[in-house]
Amino acid sequence: MELLSEISKQLEFGNDEKVHELTKDAIASNIDPKIILNDGLISGMNVIGEQFRKHEIFLPDVLMAAKAMYVGMELLKPLFIKDKIPSLGKIVIGTVKGDLHDLGKNLVGIMLKGAGFEVIDLGKDVPPEKFVETAKDERADLIGMSALLTTTLPVMQEVINLLKQNNLAGEIKTIIGGAPVSKEYAEKIGADAFAFDASNSVLVAKELIGII
C-alpha cells in the first residue's frame, strides 16, 4: 500500500513529523494497526538496520529514524489491546554494573524495537540482581547484556550464575555483546548467544526464541 511504503520511506529519512502525519492518515483510513506497524514502521527500521550494517548510513541517521519510529508507535499504542504493541518477544537489556558505556546497548534497543520486540531497557551500570529480577517479574524471554570495559566482563558471568541459581537458565536466555566480547567468551561463561553488533542482535534474538 502506498501510504505504508511512504511511512516506511519517511522513517528512513528520519522525518518524524511526516511519519506522525502519515501514521495518523493511515489510522484514519482504518488500516489495521498491526499492518501499519509491520509494513510501515518496522519495515522502515529493517531498511535502516541493513543500511547501518553495511556502513551506508551512520549513527545519527539511525537515531533520527528511531525517533520517527517512536512517534509512530505512540500513535498506534492505544489501538492495541491493553495499550500494548504486539511483540515478537520480551527482552531485558542493559550495560552491566561498573560500565557506563551505553551507546552500543542503545543501538541494540533501537534495532530490537524496530524489529518488533518489546524491550525493557535497564540503562547502564546495571547490577546482576536487577537483570534477573526484572526478567523474572516481567516474564521476559531474553536478557541482553552489554559491556565495553574489559574489566566489567565478569558481571555477565554473575548474571548467568544467578539465573542458574534461580532455576531460570534455559527459560530466560542470554545474549551478550560489546567490544571486548567474543563468541568464545560467550561459550566460556555459558551465555546462550553472542551478538557481534546491533543488527546481528535481532537475528540472534529471533533464533533464540525460535522464530527463525
Partner 1 sequence: MKPILQRLKNGEVLVADGAMGTMLFDRNLKPGDCPELLNLTKPEILKEIAQLYFEAGADIIQTNTFGGSPLKLSDYGLEDKCEEINSKAVESVRKVIGESTYLSGSCGPSGKLLTPFGDTEPELLLKGFEQQINALVNAGVNIICIETMTDLREATIAVRAAKNIHPEIPVMVSMTFDKIPKGYYTIMGVNIEDAVNGLEDAGADIIGSNCGNGIDNMIEISKHMKELSARPILIQSNAGIPENIEGKIVYPESPSYFEDKTTELIEAGVSIIGGCCGTTPEHIKGIRKVVDSTARENI
Interacting residues toward partner 1 by CB under 8 A: 14, 55, 57-61, 63-64, 67, 97-100, 103, 125, 149-153, 179-182, 184-185, 188
Say what the alpha-carbon torsion angle 105, 167, 186, 55 is, to the nearest 10 degrees.
-30
Distance CA 112, CA 89 (A): 10
Which CB sits closer to partner 1, 140 or 155? 155
Using the minimum distance from each CB to partner 1, give the nearer residue, 140 or 181: 181
CB of 103 to partner 1, least distance (A): 8
Nearer to partner 1, 172 or 193 (CB): 193
Closest separation in Å from C-beta 26 to partner 1? 24
Phi then psi for 192, rounded to 5 degrees? -75, -25
Question: What CA–CA distance (Å, rounded) separates 209 from 174?
Answer: 11
Please state the closest distance from residue 72 (CB atom) to partner 1, in A. Answer: 17
Residue type, 72: G
Nearer to partner 1, 125 or 138 (CB): 125
Neighbours of 183 (CB within 10 A): 13
Distance in Å, CB of 56 to partner 1, minimum: 9
Q: Which residue number, 42 or 57, has a Cβ lying nearer to partner 1?
A: 57
140 or 148, CB closer to partner 1? 148
DSSP state of 96: B
CB of 128 to partner 1, least distance (A): 13
Nearest CA-CA partner of 98 in 127, 134, 123? 127
The DSSP code sequence of 42-78 is IHHHHHHHHHHHTTSS-HHHHHHHHHHHHHHHHHHGG
Q: What are the Cα distances from residue 11, in Å, to 23, 111, 156?
A: 11, 14, 35
What's the closest the beta carbon of residue 144 comes to partner 1, in angstroms? 19
